[in-house]
Amino acid sequence: MTQPIQYLLGQTLRNITLVFPVGQIAMITMQGWMFAPRFEALRTALLSRSIIRGMAQLGERAFDSIGGEVVSTTAFILGNSIDTNFRGDFVRLTAGQNETEKESDLRRAAEHSASTIRFRVSSDQFTKVPGNPIVYWAKEIIRDLFPNNPPISDVITTREGLTTGSNATFLRNWYEVSQSNVGFSIANSDVAQASRKRWFPYVKGGGSRRWYGHLEYLVNWYNDGIELRNFQRPQDLACEVA
């Protein structure tokens, strides 16, 4: 673990040892420990020794004195005991854009138990999901999918998609190629090869798109990608000659 992770883990566990067995600990920290894989050891240690009695996930802009989106925080109370039946109160305040909005949202959530940003979850629910992320807003039916079903890795083997080795050589934007030479709605590789088309839609990926997008590139897959399959970069050819 890196030094910041060691510090946060050590500080939190030290706090637990300093209180009575039925005592409580209140902290405000960065929110990254709730989800990031590198903090799994911290989450595992906390959930095995204590319960989260309450949490207000503040997110960004929780403090007007700290500008920008650099600091994302969460405030929480730990109970120094284990009670699998206890359900803590969690309030998601990440939508608020400043200190005043978050305070107002918190007060409304405290006054109305049916608030859409208020959740009641027992700490043992988090251990159902691999890595123990504090996903308090997830429905129980979603969390139950993990212990009740095999992991995807036991069912299928994932692989990287098409890698050209030289995007400049084999990729074009849609507007750079004659549409008459583009294969659309091709069912399989046999149909693609029989079409004698050279260019085919290529989902390369990119930044986050909420609903639809990233249909920007075409790939040279003429004759079942014969040119791409046999492509060798100049440095590779140089190594062979050497």
pLDDT digits (tens, 9 = 90+) for 3-27: 455 666 677 778 888 888 889 999 9
Q: Per-residue pLDDT for 151 more than 90? A: no
Q: Mean pLDDT across the stretch 170-187? A: 94
Write down all domains in the chain, each with its CATH number in brackets. 3-150 (3.40.50.12420), 167-241 (no CATH)
- Cβ-count burial of 54 within 10 angstroms (0-12 exposed, 13-18 middle, 19+ buried)? middle
User: How high is the mean pLDDT of the chain?
Assistant: 87
Please report the pLDDT score of residue 242 as a whole number. 33
pTM of the model: 0.67
Instruction: Tell me which amino acid residue 132 is.
Output: N
pLDDT of residue 234: 58
In this predicted structure, what is the pLDDT of residue 6? Answer: 63
Residue 71: left (phi > 0), alpha (psi -120 to 50), or beta?
A: beta
Lowest mean pLDDT: which of 72-86, 197-211, 213-227?
Answer: 197-211
For 94-102, what is the mean pLDDT?
92
Asked if residue 1 has pLDDT above 50, the reply is no
Q: Please tell me the predicted confidence (pLDDT) of residue 2.
A: 46
Report strand pairing: 24-30 vs 72-79. Answer: antiparallel
Note the pLDDT of residue 241: 34
**Per-residue pLDDT reduced to its tens digit, 31-69:** 989 999 989 988 998 899 899 999 999 999 888 887 666
92/238: higher pLDDT: 92
pLDDT band per the 50, 70, 90 thresholds, residue 239? very low
Q: What is the predicted pLDDT for the residue at 240?
A: 37
